[in-house]
C-alpha cells in the first residue's frame, strides 16, 4: 500500500532553475498530493512537478504510487551491491569545497556513507546513499 507524502521528506521534482529533476523537500501537501517543494540544490521554492516539461508524464501518475514503491526499494539493493568489497574507512569527509571523482566514497554528516555515481555538472555530483540518491555540490 503506497504511503501518503509527508512534509519534510525528499521527493524528486523538476527544478525550474537547475533545469533538472533533482531531490526536493516537500513543503506542502493538500488532499494527499504534493503541492509545494523546495530544491535541495539551489534552495528555490516552487510548485511540485514530477517530471520535466514535455515528457508526457502527468505529475499525478508518478507521485509515489507503484513507481515510487519500486524506486524506494531499488536504491537500497543497488547501494548494497555497489558498496560490497569497499572499505568505509577510505571515505573522505564531504565538504562543498572539495573535488570528488566518479566511484569515490564519501562520508556526509547527514546522509552517511555514500558513493559518487555521476558527475552532473562542473560543480554537481550524484551520490548514492543507503536511503537513495542525492545531488550535491562540489568544487565550490
| pTM of the predicted structure, to 2 decimals | 0.48
Give residue 76's pLDDT.
52
- Specify the residue for cell string 508518478: 62
Distance CA 106, CA 94 (A): 6
Q: What phi and psi values does residue 119 have, to the nearest 5 degrees?
A: -95, 110
Q: Please, what is the average pLDDT of the chain?
A: 81
For CATH 2.30.30, the residue range(s) in the chain are: 1-64
Condensed to tens digits (0 to 9), the pLDDT of residues 8-62 reads 899 998 888 888 888 999 999 888 899 999 999 898 899 988 887 777 554 444 4
- For residue 66, with 0-12 CB atoms within 10 Å meaning exposed, 13-18 middle and 19 or more buried, which class applies? exposed
The CATH number of the domain covering residues in 1-64: 2.30.30
Distance CA 71, CA 132 (A): 9
Amino acid at each position: 500500500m503506497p504511503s501518503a507524502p509527508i512534509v519534510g521528506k525528499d521527493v524528486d521534482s523538476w527544478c525550474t532553475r537547475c533545469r533538472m529533476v533533482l531531490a526536493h523537500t516537500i513543503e506542502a501537501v493538500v488532499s494527499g498530493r504534493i503541492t509545494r517543494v523546495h530544491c535541495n540544490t539551489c534552495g528555490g521554492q516552487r510548485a511540485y512537478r514530477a517530471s520535466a516539461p514535455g515528457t508526457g508524464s502527468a505529475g499525478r501518475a508518478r507521485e509515489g504510487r507503484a513507481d515510487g514503491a519500486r524506486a524506494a526499494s531499488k536504491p537500497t539493493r543497488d547501494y548494497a551491491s555497489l558498496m560490497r568489497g569497499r572499505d568505509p574507512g577510505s571515505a573522505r569527509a564531504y565538504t562543498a569545497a572539495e573535488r570528488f571523482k566518479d566511484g569515490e566514497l564519501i562520508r556526509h554528516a547527514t546522509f552517511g556513507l555514500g558513493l559518487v555515481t555521476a558527475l552532473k555538472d562542473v560543480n554537481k555530483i550524484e551520490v548514492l546513499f543507503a536511503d537513495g540518491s542525492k545531488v550535491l555540490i562540489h568544487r565550490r
